[in-house]
Amino acid sequence: MDAPVFMCWIQKEIVLCINHAPQNPHRRTGCIHHVICRGIERREFFGEATDRDDFLKRLETILGETQTPCYAWALLPNHFHLLLRTGNTPIARVMRQLLSGYAGRFNRLHRRSAHLFQNRYKSIG
């Protein structure tokens, strides 16, 4: 049985930042990044609807506070994908807020104390 995919497309057209890309595109305003993050040992961290809801509420709040556009997202049981455009706030800060807050809540709720995510998120920009 295939795992359910929870996906939302927010915008239809995306302009990629290709011309004169600097060495560190994560700091350049206006670049599009495909962000991927997987659960440690490929374990599920979106097992319950409340987990997905909390993640999406956190994402919405952080994106609003940092004015970071999100064009699409996909939540699978053991990983997620985000399509973000860099603004004045670096992607690293956005992801740190999102992942730290979510992991802390998830671990408290599920009585865990270990790492939740496999590695640092991956960003292709």
pLDDT tens digits in sequence order for the chain, 125 residues long: 444 444 444 444 444 443 334 445 455 678 899 988 888 767 777 878 888 899 999 999 999 999 999 999 999 888 889 999 988 899 999 988 998 888 888 778 778 777 777 767 767 76
Token pair listed for 35: 């962000």
DSSP string, 14-45: -----TT--S-GGGSTT-EEEEEEEBGGG--S
Give the per-residue pLDDT at 110.
74
Give the per-residue pLDDT at 43.
79
88: amino acid identity, one letter: N
